[in-house]
Amino acid sequence: MFTVDAHLDLSMNALEWNRDLTLPVSAINEREEGLTDKPDRAKAVVSLPELRKGGIGLVVATQIARFVAPGNTLPGWHSPAQAWAQTQGQLAWYRAMEDAGEMVQINNLDGLEKHLALWAADTPNAEKPIGYILSLEGADSIVTIGHLEKAYRNGLRAVGPAHYGPGRYAQGTDATGLMGPKGHELLKEMERLNIILDATHLCDDSFWEALDHFNGNVWASHNNCRALVNHNRQFSDDQIKALIERGAVIGGALDAWMMVPNWVRGQSTPKGMNCNLGVMIDHIDHICQLAGNTHHVGIGSDLDGAFGKEQCPYDLETIADLEKIPALFKAKGYTDVDVENLMSANWLRFLRKAWG
């Protein structure tokens, strides 16, 4: 089944983790054996061949670079210009993948339809490029509002104004506070350029302010439910209902600490916490119950988003195992149409409306 994954940090893995994503996952992990600089070494689950194997023909792929002010202990760059330069290096990697025929940027309706026709053809998936929609996770690297149009011309089509902690344009996970005038200016320019607002990672204050000030298209690429895991990283039922009212799609994420309560980083294990793919279906089902339909759910796995097999469902060996999800969803009583909505149709419907 053709699948859309609305959140993958591919360029981050390529440049900061030094992974050659054109290789099989097994080859990536073999080369990382014995490395200890990151907790997920030799535990990768994502590569371009595995995306093809799983029929994941379209992804939302990120640029990410945080700015940290003095006193902020989070990892990040010490100036917005450095953060901008990092995102441009990430863009260069995507362009290199395009030049190699591995990927193709999708940034308008015509390109989307052509790519879907290509993936519907009888050609083996192994010979097809992975389509990617460029997204910016955290807007700190937008040095000035004028830089946003530069990014748009390079293909940027979605922006999450904040990531973790305090940001230049909004406040993110584990932070509090409003967006303020600079954030409002960012939202206004995003609306002018028809850039999608990704509500993921916005703290509660900034979330509600963003929805009040932005009249464009909104999605949440990778978010789970606070009712099931009580943490500010997840959405409350009121937030989910507000997104549903805006026509948003919410992508279920596969980071274990977002899936099951009481996860302790570095100590808990997926099997020990009974964290499997079915747990994500529980989050998806919760959103469907609030919506009264299956029109607002999708997949935004976040796999290899600075974690690997040590912190993802135990029944997932590589990202190709997303193909197990349809059977799990149907086991909850959902129909074939519901499954198609979850795996791709909702994201595609959203994009056709946003870009139409």
In the chain, DSSP assigns E strands to: 3-8, 56-63, 103-105, 130-137, 156-160, 196-198, 218-219, 250-252, 297-299
For residues 135-153, one letter each, b for 16 or more C-beta atoms within 10 angstroms of the residue's C-beta and e for the rest, the string is bbbbbbbbbeeebbeebbe
**pLDDT given at position 96:** 98
Cα Rg of the chain (Å, integer): 19
pLDDT tens digits, 83-128:
999 999 999 999 999 999 999 999 999 999 999 999 999 999 999 9
The pLDDT-based confidence of 347 (bands split at 50, 70, 90) is: very high
The pLDDT-based confidence of 215 (bands split at 50, 70, 90) is: very high
Structural domain containing residue 310: 3-355
Closest CA to 209 of 170, 236, 262: 170
Mean pLDDT of 263-272: 96
pLDDT tens digits, 190-206:
999 999 999 999 999 99
Number of domains composing the chain:
1
Q: For the whole model, what pTM was predicted?
A: 0.98
Per DSSP, what are the bridge partners of residue 134? 61, 156
Phi, psi torsion values for 160, nearest 5 degrees? -100, 115
The CATH number assigned to the domain holding 230 equals: 3.20.20.140
Name the helix (H) or strand (E) containing 256. Answer: helix 256-259
What's the longest Cα–Cα distance across the chain?
Answer: 55
Q: How many CB atoms lie within 10 A of CB 267?
A: 7
d(CA 230, CA 223): 13
**pLDDT given at position 159:** 98
Closest CA to 315 of 343, 280, 277: 277
pLDDT tens digits, 38-66:
999 999 999 999 999 999 999 999 999 99
Mean pLDDT of 8-37: 98
Mean pLDDT of 321-342: 98
d(CA 145, CA 123): 43
Tell me the percentage of the chain whose pLDDT exceeds 70. Answer: 100
pLDDT tens digits, 293-311:
999 999 999 999 999 999 9
- Cβ neighbours for 99, distance < 8 A, ≥ 6 positions apart: none
Contact 344, 1 (CB under 8 A): yes
Mean pLDDT of 143-156: 98
d(CA 175, CA 201): 10
Strands 56-63 and 3-8: parallel
Angle, vertex CA 294, rays to CA 353 and CA 331, nearest 5: 145
**pLDDT given at position 180:** 93
Mean pLDDT of 312-330: 98
Mean pLDDT of 15-33: 98
Per DSSP, what are the bridge partners of residue 164? 173
d(CA 44, CA 319): 9
d(CA 19, CA 21): 6
With tokens 């086991």, the residue in question is 331
d(CA 114, CA 112): 6
- Cβ neighbours for 87, distance < 8 A, ≥ 6 positions apart: 63, 64, 65, 136, 141, 151
**pLDDT given at position 252:** 98
The alpha carbon of residue 71 and the mean position of all alpha carbons in its chain are separated, in whole angstroms, by 28
* Three-state DSSP class for residue 341: helix
Per DSSP, what are the bridge partners of residue 132? 59, 105
What is the pLDDT of the chain when averaged over all its residues?
A: 98
